[in-house]
Amino acid sequence: MMMGKTGRRVAITGGVVVTGILAFMLSQMGLNFGTGAGPDGGAVSQQDSDQAMRDAVATSTPQASLVPTQPETTNENEKPHPDISEVITVVVVGKGYVWATNEATPEIIEPITLDEIVTKAKATQGNSQGLRARVFHAGSALPSAENELIKSLKDAGLADNAILFEQRVIELK
């Protein structure tokens, strides 16, 4: 049976790949081969390598602690709660909700419950157009959570024109 050039190339490539996989597997099992350094693989004694490691560590620069430390939180890092005298902005995320700033592109402040949203929305006075609640959604927002929020706001006495449901998807940061 004669093989064409393509068949030979495939067979050779397959053999190289299989040999590489076998070499990797054997090296993972602790078999040193292929270094060309003789029967002991040119290995340095364990004591020599341990001493070399200690010397290298001793002369290196001090390392940071391996235990992560919590950054100190200051009032500068905390986001202030937005003014909700006119409008409350909420982002639906999955099955839950997060409170957000009242900017054109809202920034996330903190998680908030449905009851807290309704309470805050009822406390708002509305802006010049009568808007009292803005609802955005993240990519993970479930329609059932969006519908539940809108229904709760309407049940609390907010008119349809007092609730703005934005179709834009907000990316969480």
Question: Considering the chain, what percentage of its residues have pLDDT values greater than 90?
Answer: 11
Of the two residues 64 and 154, the one the predictor is more confident about is: 154
Please check whether residue 43 lies inside any domain of the structure: no
pLDDT digits (tens, 9 = 90+) for 97-139: 988 887 877 888 889 999 998 998 888 888 888 888 989 888 8
The mean pLDDT value of the chain amounts to: 75
162 shares its domain with 93: yes
The structural domain count of the chain equals 2
Is it the case that residue 77 has pLDDT exceeding 70?
no
Identify the pLDDT of residue 74: 44
Q: Give whole-number Cα distances, 72 to 57, 75, 76, 77, in Å.
A: 30, 10, 11, 9
pLDDT digits (tens, 9 = 90+) for 19-31: 888 877 777 777 6
Query: What is the sign, positive or negative, of the torsion defined by CA atoms of 109, 94, 105, 157?
Result: negative
Of the two residues 42 and 130, the one the predictor is more confident about is: 130
d(CA 153, CA 165): 12
Please check whether residue 127 lies inside any domain of the structure: yes
Is it the case that residue 166 has pLDDT exceeding 70?
yes
Helix (H, G, I), strand (E, B) or coil at 13: helix
Helix (H, G, I), strand (E, B) or coil at 130: coil
* Rg of the chain taking only CA atoms, in angstroms: 32
Of the two residues 109 and 65, the one the predictor is more confident about is: 109
CATH number of the domain bearing residue 113: 3.30.420
Please check whether residue 77 lies inside any domain of the structure: no
- Tokens standing for residue 162: 């007092």
Q: Are the beta carbons of 134 and 92 closer than 8 angstroms? A: no
Is it the case that residue 60 has pLDDT exceeding 80?
no
d(CA 34, CA 54): 28
Please check whether residue 121 lies inside any domain of the structure: yes
24 shares its domain with 92: no
Please check whether residue 54 lies inside any domain of the structure: no
For 157, residues 6+ apart whose C-beta sits below 8 A from its C-beta are: 122
Please check whether residue 3 lies inside any domain of the structure: yes
- Tokens standing for residue 75: 């009032």
Is it the case that residue 79 has pLDDT exceeding 60?
no
d(CA 173, CA 31): 48
What pTM value is reported for the model? 0.52
What would the mean pLDDT of 75-86 be, rounded to a whole number? 60
Question: Considering the chain, what percentage of its residues have pLDDT values greater than 70?
Answer: 65
Helix pair angle (143-155, 114-123), 10° resolution? 40
Please check whether residue 111 lies inside any domain of the structure: yes
Please check whether residue 17 lies inside any domain of the structure: yes
Tell me the residue range of the domain where 18 lies: 1-29
